[in-house]
Structure 1
Amino acid sequence: MTQENVLSRAVEFAQTLVRVPSVSGTPATHDVIKAVEEILRNNSRSTSRIAAEATGAPVLLAHCGSDDPAAPSLMLSGHIDVVPPAGMTDPWSAEIRDGRLLGRGSTDMKGGAAAAIAAFCEASKQDLKGSLWLILSTDEETDVKGVKAALEEPGAPRPDLAIIAEPTELTIRNEHRGDAWVRVDFKGRSAHSSRPHLGVNAIEAAALFIVRARKRLPEMQKEGPGIGLQTTSIDMVSGGAAPNVVPANASVTIDFRYQGEESGRIQEERILRVVEELRKDPDFPPVEVSTTITGDWPALSSSLENPVAQQAIAAIEASLGHKVEVTPMSGWGEGGYMHAFGIPAFYFGPGEGKLAHTPQESSPVWHIEKAAEAIYRAVMAHCA
């Protein structure tokens, strides 16, 4: 297989993946794993295994090159699950029209996964002195349990660098905020609404909490260790049993986007401080309050000053023929877990992020081709 063939096969691979309706959480995520295994069998000299099976979200781990743990190592990463194709008329067509690959996942991120697969396959046919890994998850759009579990398993890779082929329009993203969801539960006492004084209204407590939290939580974030933009968003409220019953229960869920030095636990502690302040307010009902971290996904903050990252970026820039822009990423990605396990990582891949999850999702074919070439050159620069 020549480098030119890698480019053409990358688009074919992308079409193969898009044709599998691998919505996160459905049985088709197993089908898309099988599709990748078939591609690897026919196009690479590599070994592969399924990791994180106990999570219900299988992760494909493939390897080629040296087995020496001291050898230079690199990992190509991505996810091959997608969000539901709401509003799309033919989401699994994988049609190419006007130079663009159409379909759900073409941007986020089967185009990028295909580029990484093609680069991996081409590199596997070379005489690599280094070690190359490919890791593809199937629940990035939902629980993101798979890649974490895979990296916790014995013998999991700890490469010198991970390149994650999320859609970045062929630029580099080397950091993003963490994301935590914290639910606050208020427990009061029910009563007939004609005698509200006999109850303890949990919804009233939640309402007073929301008013105070909206002001105080951003203030507390500014006082903390995180440097850079941090946000809070009160995204879910529930409570009550019936229109004529004083509500005994209510809950509020808050989304925190935090910087790398922080965590979901720190956000939870801030919520409890807000509750302590509210206890001094005579209007705050005597409710029981508890908190639960329902999700916590770590931030990515990778310095690109280390020699391996510099080498990879130089290879990518040589392939593209120009200097590559490096900026933070607005959303979250599995690079957060790479960072948590001590693996330096950055995002580089084809497609425009603004089209992800939309009915108009598509990716320029030339992006996929260029990404495959650039990723391949980065692999060879470190592992050849």
Structure 2
Amino acid sequence: MASFLLPDAVAIAQTLVRIPSVSGSPAVFDVVEAVKHILEESADPSVTVHVCTAVPDAPVLLAHAGSTDPEAPSFMLSGHIDVVPPAGMEAPFSGDVKAGRLLGRGATDMKGGAAAAIAAFAQASKENLPGSLWLILSTDEETNVRGVKAALEEAGAPRPDACLIAEPTELEIHSAHRGDAWIRVDFEGRSAHSSRPHLGVNAVDAACLFAVKARKRLPEMMKEGPAKGPQTCSIDLISGGAAENVVPAHASVTIDFRFQGEETGRLQEERILRVLEECRQDPDFPDVKASTTITGDWPALADQTDAPACRRAIAALTEEVGRPLKTTPMSGWGEGGYMCAFGIPAFYFGPGEGRLAHTPQESASVEMIETAARAIHRAVRAVLCGGEVAPRS
């Protein structure tokens, strides 16, 4: 295989880590500008860059290189460049390298992987690509993930043959994950002085009785559904009350559902409504008004690693890493769910240990970032060029 000198992925990662791009903060615009500058400096001048601002506080960078022929092979590199808040970190945005590891918030999740993808994209853009190469980087993956969806809904948005998402997988393959939905149940009663509780309708009582019932019934209902594979639900938020001496008129319960692709957030909401009807059969259940709101609904990623472009990419990654790559589902949710929803076969491959993400100890192996950049570049060539390409003169 010809040897190419890729742009320095670790230096790119350091630049990204040094920008405090916490989701929703003004710094997300700074990190997008930094990527634009990196591409101006290291990619081919023919590269086009578009920033989608359909979601005002969550810009998405979309860059393109290579062929504009809609019939040509196409491949996308994806990631996010926002981070969670740096709670508990002494120097969260230093970007220092010590003992072979990049330090700082986002080093693992996932600025190390984003840097590897940027370096691979920049190098490939300078080669005679017979296919179409895309780079998409979002800035709200750690919160409500509206940006990438809006970008993929734009007119002319790419629909590549495959997408590699450079989340931290320790250079293994994650091929699928469950969908995720958050559903809030609001209870409305009637306030009264606590010395005369019989004059009120206690919404907190209703929320507590509902939570006890839901904890048992929802898992039973999910087992009876169409999905095959593990599903879970978790009661994660309960709130309500106004003061210690006031019968609460308002309360809410929020439930997180993780489900297979055959199911949807709407189906989980229907199950909640069934639990509410069962609650109303209990004479101890207060006469409250109840309503449901889907506050988050993110689709599952089905395993599509048998798609031809995915197979070629994974074979190339395997060759560069130099060992067989394990292929497993991912426990959490990622933007591959939206790729799948828009008909784009996707999988995850990137540097970093997921167990360090969002922790005060977050860091990433420099060697792993460099290996990822080389492997992703090789995957690009395999999908778009059938292997080797000649660099532009």
TM (normalized to structure 2)? Answer: 0.95
- Which residue of structure 2 lines up, in the alignment, with residue 5 of structure 1? 5
> CA distance change for structure 1 residues 304 and 54 in 2, over 3 Å: closer, same or farther?
closer
1:1-384 aligned at under 5 Å gives the runs: 3-6=3-6, 9-45=8-44, 46-384=47-385
SS at match of 1:180: strand
How far 1:194 moved relative to its partner? 2.0
How far 1:4 moved relative to its partner? 4.6
Q: CA RMSD in A?
A: 1.1
How far 1:302 moved relative to its partner? 2.4
* Post-superposition CA distance 1:127-153 (Å, at most 9, x none): 011000000001111121100000000
- Amino acid in structure 2 at the alignment position of 1:190: S
Moved more, 320-329 or 192-201: 192-201
* Post-superposition CA distance 1:298-319 (Å, at most 9, x none): 1111221221111111111111
> CA distance change for structure 1 residues 3 and 151 in 2, over 3 Å: closer, same or farther?
farther
Cα contact 1:63–1:133 (8 A) shared by 2: yes
- Amino acid in structure 1 at the alignment position of 2:30: D
Moved more, 357-366 or 188-197: 188-197
Cα contact 1:3–1:122 (8 A) shared by 2: no
* Post-superposition CA distance 1:228-263 (Å, at most 9, x none): 111111111111122222111111111111111111
Distance 2:194 2:91 in 1: 52
How far 1:93 moved relative to its partner? 1.3
Gaps of 5+ in 2: 386-393
TM (normalized to structure 1)? Answer: 0.98
Cα contact 1:173–1:328 (8 A) shared by 2: yes
Query: How many residues were matched structurally?
Result: 382
SS at match of 2:350: coil
Cα contact 1:55–1:145 (8 A) shared by 2: no
- Amino acid in structure 2 at the alignment position of 1:43: S
Gaps of 5+ in 1: none
Cα contact 1:77–1:162 (8 A) shared by 2: yes
> CA distance change for structure 1 residues 223 and 55 in 2, over 3 Å: closer, same or farther?
farther
How far 1:225 moved relative to its partner? 1.1
SS at match of 2:181: strand
Cα contact 1:3–1:373 (8 A) shared by 2: no
SS at match of 1:290: strand
SS at match of 2:5: helix
- Amino acid in structure 1 at the alignment position of 2:22: V
How far 1:5 moved relative to its partner? 2.4
How far 1:196 moved relative to its partner? 1.6
How far 1:195 moved relative to its partner? 1.9
Distance 2:242 2:104 in 1: 43
Moved more, 141-150 or 188-197: 188-197
Distance 1:88 1:244 in 2: 40
Cα contact 2:55–2:146 (8 A) shared by 1: no
> CA distance change for structure 1 residues 4 and 129 in 2, over 3 Å: closer, same or farther?
closer
